[in-house]
């Protein structure tokens, strides 16, 4: 298969090109500016990313039929575009939330690694070739390993980076082995060529299912699905808080993008099989995540288990895709992830803003927060209620969409388990809010300063949550466009 080169392909990857340019500018400024003047790097990164999002909307929006480009390495379609913008948005929010953090916010390396990782995520969303896919996953992961261990003087952060590296390297080796099997069996690395070979019956069931399992190991690690979820709490706890937020949102969303694309493209012939696998993963992931979250004392660990549970909810949507006649499945997954990214970034942002003043991530230290900083408490309220799936916040609409997708294809039992899990989830989110709003503390008359970056970032995120929850129609059509172009 050869795909002729045409000039429009430059425009289609313009956001990626601009991102590389931004990365180089940030690094150059880091080298050129004296240390005390590097505070503006965070604003530059956030502003640059916002500009790239706007450019993406202006020129790189896919129109018409999805097309393979750059020799079949990338696919220009809505799925890729939606996840590209999500990754850019998450990176912009993360840089806003981290620029006032000591030992992090004024260092060019931090933004450089963040941007390099974002580039990987953008390519993960649109990669249509195993070579490109693997490279994109590694470009995402390697900077994230370093970011998780960014506070080299802090033992917990170092441990987080190291654990993430070890598990990440191992699972990506297994996944790469799965890729090599796929290539060995078919002689092709292009996902869509693989798909046509699989549909033509060129592949035996054993070889497809076996390589699917190996590939799933890598993807399950990225989205922190059971049984590869165990790294998440330790890594989120040790990593700098904005990095933990970035890991739990953008990295997870990119993992889902890859999962959905590969499952739908390469393995459509064995849909019932992977449907069963994904359903089982969804149930295990939700239930385990929620049950472990109940007993957490540290808010970052709690959010880590909650993010595992949310991967489970999103997997319900993926399981729905596997059933014949699903119209809502893919839409609901994309929609769920966009909302989840916005919501969880707000939660981690609030945790970072509180943590930089109190120096603690224990839930007990949140006592009296509503008096120290009513606005931060409100952000936490919005984020946690949206995570638990309460109306009128975004989380409600998307949970509804995912469960509806399951019911539509008669996976009613899966939807019921999902609803039961949401009720468990509600309990621990409310426990945190109880501490925030009802408990008193001795320090409650000391106000908590919220620097400009946090204020702007959290404001944007909260408005996003409310917009999704109330005016969800435009978002819904955005995501259904993404899902419709999958095939």
Partner 1 sequence: MTALQIIFLITAVITLGAAAMVVITRNLVHAALWLIMTFFGISVLYVLLNAGFLAVAQVVIYIGAISILMIFAIMLTRRVQQDFGPQTNAAWPWALVIAAALFGGLIWIFSGWGNFFTQAPVMGERADPLRQLGMALVSPEQYVIPFEVASVMLTAALIGAIMVAWERK
Partner 2 sequence: MLIEYLPIAILLVISTGLAALIVWIGNTFGPRRPTLRKSLPYESGMNPIGPGTRRMPVRFYLVAVLFILFDIEVVFFLPWAIVFRQLGLFGLIEMFVFIFILLVGYVYAWKKGALEWE
Which residues contact partner 2 (rule: CB under 8 A)? Answer: 20, 24, 27-28, 31
Phi, psi of 95 (to 5 degrees): -70, -30
Other beta carbons within 10 angstroms of residue 368's beta carbon come to: 22
Sign of torsion over alpha carbons 411, 416, 419, 421: negative
Task: Select 28 or 474, whichever has its Cβ closest to partner 2.
Answer: 28
Q: How far is the CB of 432 from partner 1 (least distance, A)?
A: 33
For the CB of residue 151, give the shortest distance to partner 1 in the complex, in Å: 11
Largest CA distance in the chain: 71
How many of the other CB atoms lie within 10 Å of CB of 108?
19
256, 314 in Cβ contact below 8 A? yes
Smaller CB separation from partner 1, 117 or 229: 117
Identify the three-state secondary structure at position 75.
strand
3-state secondary structure of 69: strand
**Per-residue contact string for residues 58-87; x = within reach of partner 1 by CB under 8 A:** ------------xx-xx-------------
Span interacting with partner 1, options 49-57, 149-157, 353-361, 425-433, rule CB under 8 A: 149-157
- When asked if residue 143 is in the footprint of partner 1 (CB under 8 A), the reply is yes
What burial letters (b/e) apply to 325-358, b meaning 16+ CB within 10 Å? ebebbbbbbbbbbbbbbbbbbbbbbbbbbbbbbb
Per CB under 8 A, the segment of 108-116, 304-312, 384-392, 435-443 that binds partner 1 is 108-116
Site residues for partner 1, window 208-227 (CB under 8 A)? 210-211, 213
Among residues 22, 79, 97, 116, which is the contact residue for partner 1, using CB under 8 A?
116
Cα angle 250, 254, 255; round to 5: 115
Structure tokens at 78: 């809505």
Tokens found for residue 387: 């995570």
Shortest Cβ distance from residue 83 to partner 2 (Å)? 24
Establish if 181 lies at the interface with partner 1 (CB under 8 A).
yes
Question: What's the count of helices (H) and strands (E) in the chain, helices before strands?
Answer: 21, 2
Q: How far is the CB of 122 from partner 1 (least distance, A)?
A: 10
Q: Are 420 and 309 in contact (CB under 8 A)?
A: no
Give the position of tokens 């956001």.
Answer: 15
Q: Which does 176 bind (CB under 5 to 8 A by kind): partner 2, partner 1, none?
A: none
Per CB under 8 A, the list member of 56, 120, 349, 394 interacting with partner 1 is 120
Choice between 30 and 361, CB closer to partner 1: 30
228 binds partner 1 (CB under 8 A): no
Q: What minimum distance in Å lies between the beta carbon of 164 and partner 2? A: 18
With binding defined as CB under 8 A, does residue 486 bind partner 1? no
- As a whole number of Å, the end-to-end CA separation of the chain is 18
Binding piece for partner 1, criterion CB under 8 A, among 117-125, 251-259, 337-345, 400-408: 117-125
**Residue 392 preceded by cis peptide, ω within 30:** yes
- 74: helix, strand or coil: strand
Cβ at position 155, least distance to partner 2 in Å: 16
**Cβ contact 402:476 at 8 Å:** no
Q: Which of 60, 91, 112, 330 binds partner 1 (CB under 8 A)?
A: 112
Token code pair at residue 107: 């260092």
Minimal distance in Å, beta carbon 391 to partner 2? Answer: 47
Asked whether 283 and 416 are in contact (CB, 8 A), the reply is no
Does 95 help bind partner 1 (rule: CB under 8 A)?
A: no
Inter-axis angle of helices 452-470 and 78-98, nearest 10: 140
> For 68, which DSSP code?
E
C-alpha to C-alpha distance for 132 and 271, rounded to whole angstroms? 24
Residue 130 binds which entry of partner 1, partner 2, none, CB below 5-8 Å type-dependent: none
CA pair distance 63, 340, nearest whole angstrom = 26
The residue from 14, 29, 33, 142 that contacts partner 1 (CB under 8 A) is 142
CB nearer to partner 1: pick between 13 and 316: 13
**Residue 210 interface partner, choices partner 2, partner 1, none, CB cut-off 5-8 Å depending on type:** partner 1
Residue 31, binding choice from partner 1, partner 2, none, Cβ under 5 to 8 Å by partner class: partner 2
In 33-154, which residue ranges form alpha helices assigned H by DSSP?
41-59, 78-98, 108-126, 130-148
Closer to partner 1 by Cβ: residue 109 or 444: 109
Identify residues 187-206 at the interface with partner 1 (CB under 8 A). 204-206
Q: How far apart are CA 207 and CA 183, in angstroms?
A: 11
Site for partner 1 in 8-37 (CB under 8 A): 9, 13, 20, 23, 27
Contact set with partner 1 (CB under 8 A): 2-5, 9, 13, 20, 23, 27, 70-71, 73-74, 109, 112-113, 116-117, 119-120, 123, 131-132, 135-136, 138-139, 142-143, 145-146, 149-150, 152, 161, 181, 185, 204-207, 210-211, 213
């Amino acid at each position: 298969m050869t795909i002729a080169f045409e000039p429009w392909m430059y425009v289609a990857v313009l956001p990626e090109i601009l991102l590389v340019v931004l990365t180089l500018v940030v690094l150059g400024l880091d080298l050129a500016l004296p240390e005390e003047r590097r505070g503006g790097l965070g604003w530059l990164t956030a502003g640059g990313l916002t500009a790239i999002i706007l450019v993406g909307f202006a020129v790189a929006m896919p129109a018409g039929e999805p097309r393979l480009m750059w020799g079949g390495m990338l696919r220009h379609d809505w799925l890729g575009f939606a996840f590209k913008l999500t990754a850019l948005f998450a990176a912009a929010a993360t840089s806003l939330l981290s620029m006032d953090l000591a030992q992090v916010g004024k260092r060019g390396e931090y933004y450089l690694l963040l941007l390099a990782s974002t580039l990987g995520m953008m390519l993960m969303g649109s990669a249509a070739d195993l070579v490109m896919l693997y490279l994109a996953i590694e470009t995402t992961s390697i900077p994230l390993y370093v970011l998780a261990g960014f506070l080299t003087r802090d033992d917990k952060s170092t441990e987080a980076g190291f654990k993430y590296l070890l598990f990440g390297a191992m699972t990506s080796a297994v996944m790469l082995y799965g890729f090599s099997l796929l290539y060995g069996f078919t002689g092709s690395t292009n996902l869509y060529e693989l798909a046509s070979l699989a549909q033509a019956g060129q592949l035996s069931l054993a070889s497809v299912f076996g390589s699917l399992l190996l590939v799933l190991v890598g993807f399950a690690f990225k989205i922190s699905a059971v049984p590869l979820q165990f790294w998440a709490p330790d890594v989120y706890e040790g990593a700098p808080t904005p990095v933990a937020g970035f890991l739990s949102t953008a990295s997870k969303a990119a993992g889902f993008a890859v999962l959905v694309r590969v499952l739908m493209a390469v393995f459509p012939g064995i849909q019932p099989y992977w449907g069963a696998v994904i359903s089982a993963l969804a149930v295990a992931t939700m239930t385990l995540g929620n049950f472990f979250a109940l007993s957490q004392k540290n808010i970052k660990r709690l959010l880590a288990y909650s993010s595992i549970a949310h991967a489970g909810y999103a997997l319900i949507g993926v399981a729905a895709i596997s059933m014949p006649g699903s119209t809502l499945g893919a839409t609901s997954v994309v929609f769920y992830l966009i909302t989840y990214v916005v919501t969880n970034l707000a939660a981690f942002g609030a945790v970072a803003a509180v943590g930089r003043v109190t120096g603690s991530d224990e839930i007990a230290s949140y006592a009296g927060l509503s008096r120290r900083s009513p606005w931060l408490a409100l952000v936490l309220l919005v984020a946690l209620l949206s995570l638990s799936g309460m109306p009128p916040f975004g989380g409600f609409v998307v949970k509804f969409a995912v469960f509806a997708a399951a019911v539509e294809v008669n996976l009613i039992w899966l939807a019921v388990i999902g609803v039961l899990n949401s009720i468990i989830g509600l309990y621990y989110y409310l426990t945190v809010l109880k501490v925030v709003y009802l408990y008193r503390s001795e320090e409650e008359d000391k106000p908590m300063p919220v620097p400009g970056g946090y204020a702007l970032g959290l404001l944007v995120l909260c408005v996003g949550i409310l917009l999704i929850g109330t005016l969800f129609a435009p978002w819904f059509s955005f995501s259904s466009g993404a899902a419709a172009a999958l095939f």
